[in-house]
Amino acid sequence: MERDITIDIHLDEDEDTTAARVELDLRNDHFEATGRARRNPIDSPSPVIGEELAIARALGELQHQIMEAAQTKIEGD
């Protein structure tokens, strides 16, 4: 069985900070995580770097949540 699963990524940015919120609905579970990136004042603005860092951090947190949920289900069997 093949299925597509979508992860929603929401970005909120200003001149120095990028925040990413990721959401995943997987069967009956809802996962949501956030990541942040802040530009060092001495660095030149590069929004894509902040987006990449914030998204990567949010996805890393999401990965931990999914692994914990799977482990809880394994231990419950």
Domain boundaries, the chain: 7-76
Q: Are 25 and 45 in contact (CB under 8 A)?
A: no
Query: What mean pLDDT, rounded, does the chain reach?
Result: 92
Q: Which fold has domain 7-76?
A: Double Stranded RNA Binding Domain (3.30.160)
- CA 7 → CA 27, 44, 50, distances in Å? 13, 30, 19
Q: What is the pLDDT of residue 77?
A: 64
* pLDDT, tens digit (0-9, with 9 covering 90-100), for 35-70: 999 987 777 777 788 999 999 999 999 999 999 999
